[in-house]
């Protein structure tokens, strides 16, 4: 028996619905159809009157969740693709994210965002939105990279009294499997050492954790030991764990699949250079996608995002500095 990352997301929603009657699910095609990716498969049957199809109205979906949260509900909203959350952007950053600060009323909503690229998905079904939302005060942004985190961090997100942007990576949906959902891991806000090492640190999150681990394996053959830090949540960002790792290795590669301008990798570099400049033996490096929309054809797509080989190349430059 094994369980995929996608099944873990489904199981977490099952558990959230089972445990707490104030949880309900709202999103496009998620009821009888079970969702575009089947992340809510058969949940509407198992929980009648708890899983609802929404019109194609991301703005209204999020606004609705905020109103429901004020009344004590804990809605989980499924964006069919993270890319479409741009239509609900205003409700997320202005309505949901400001509610507690303005009115002292918490806003416990979870917005699931199927994120990141897969071959053939093209410019509008591949985006990573975590940096956009992390920019706004009042939101928690989680980016699970493992089956265990996909499960437990979704349950934790639903229980949090603040709006959570839950970025689930589509590339991991079917590729990533575990024998079982493990024990509850770290809480939201704590990074994880995915692989210990001595010569350089890669700080990354979501699907790029796995590319980083493969690149670390490759460098191992050359005798280098690479530490990989999985942020787990990009906001809050666990600066202490990042700095502790850089203190051990003296070298930093900030890695992300999102577009290169600003964003999570820039934030990592900014924090390390401002708070841990003295720890660095080499200028910190960044690796992101290219600064173009995300291409459709697999040949182009594979070159657009960081891959094991481009990460390994960046590591070699970092180590040889």
Piece of 116-124, 191-199, 235-243, 296-304 that binds another protein (CB under 8 A): 235-243
CA–CA distance, 58 with 287 (Å, rounded to integer): 31
CB of 179 to another protein, least distance (A): 31
What residues numbered 147-166 form the site for another protein, per CB under 8 A?
Answer: 160-162
Of 110, 137, 131, 112, which is closest to residue 288 (Cα–Cα)? 131
Check binding of 182 to another protein (CB under 8 A).
Answer: no
CB 68 within 8 A of CB 108: no
Check binding of 90 to another protein (CB under 8 A).
Answer: yes
How far, in whole angstroms, is CA 44 from its chain's centroid? Answer: 26
| CA distance from start to end of the chain | 46
CB 246 within 8 A of CB 280: yes
Check binding of 70 to another protein (CB under 8 A).
Answer: yes
Convert 22-54 to b/e letters by CB count within 10 Å (16 or more is b).
ebbbbbbbbbeebbbbebbbebbeebeebbeeb
Compare residues 99 and 254 and give the one whose CB is closer to another protein.
99
Among 12, 17, 39, 188, binds another protein (CB under 8 A): 188
Compare residues 70 and 178 and give the one whose CB is closer to another protein.
70
Q: Which residues contact 313 (CB under 8 A, 6 or more apart)?
A: none
Check binding of 138 to another protein (CB under 8 A).
Answer: yes
Check binding of 98 to another protein (CB under 8 A).
Answer: yes
What residues numbered 250-289 form the site for another protein, per CB under 8 A?
Answer: none
Residues that bind another protein (CB under 8 A): 21-22, 24, 49-50, 54-55, 57-73, 75, 87, 90-91, 94-95, 97-103, 105-106, 137-138, 140, 160-162, 188-189, 235-237
């Amino acid at each position: 028996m094994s369980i995929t990352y996608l099944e873990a997301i489904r199981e977490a929603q099952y558990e959230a619905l089972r445990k707490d009657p104030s949880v309900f699910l709202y999103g496009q095609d998620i009821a009888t159809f079970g969702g575009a990716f089947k992340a809510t498969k058969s949940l509407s049957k198992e929980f009648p009157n708890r899983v609802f199809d929404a019109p194609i109205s991301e703005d209204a979906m999020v606004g609705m969740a905020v109103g429901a949260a004020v009344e004590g509900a804990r809605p989980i909203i499924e964006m069919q693709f993270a890319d479409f959350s741009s239509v609900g952007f205003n409700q997320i950053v202005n309505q949901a994210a400001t509610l507690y600060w303005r009115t002292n009323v918490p806003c416990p909503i979870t917005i699931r965002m199927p994120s990141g690229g897969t071959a053939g998905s093209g410019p509008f079904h591949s985006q990573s939105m975590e940096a956009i939302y992390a920019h706004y005060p009042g939101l928690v942004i989680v980016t699970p990279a493992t089956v265990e985190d996909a499960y437990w961090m979704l349950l934790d997100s639903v229980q949090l009294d603040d709006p959570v942007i839950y970025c689930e990576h589509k590339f991991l949906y079917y590729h990533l499997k575990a024998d079982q959902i493990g024990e509850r891991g770290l809480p939201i806000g704590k990074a994880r050492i995915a692989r210990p090492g001595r010569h350089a640190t890669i700080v990354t999150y979501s699907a790029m954790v796995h590319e980083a681990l493969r690149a670390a394996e490759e460098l191992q053959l050359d005798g280098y030991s690479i530490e990989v830090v999985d942020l787990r949540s990009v906001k809050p960002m666990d600066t202490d764990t990042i700095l502790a790792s850089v203190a051990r290795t003296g070298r930093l590669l900030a890695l992300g699949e999102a577009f290169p301008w600003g964003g999570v990798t820039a934030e990592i570099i900014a924090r390390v250079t401002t708070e841990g400049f003295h720890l660095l033996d080499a200028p910190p490096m960044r690796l992101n996608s290219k600064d173009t929309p995300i291409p459709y054809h697999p040949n182009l797509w594979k070159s657009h995002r960081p891959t094991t080989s481009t990460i390994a190349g960046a590591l070699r430059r970092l180590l040889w500095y």
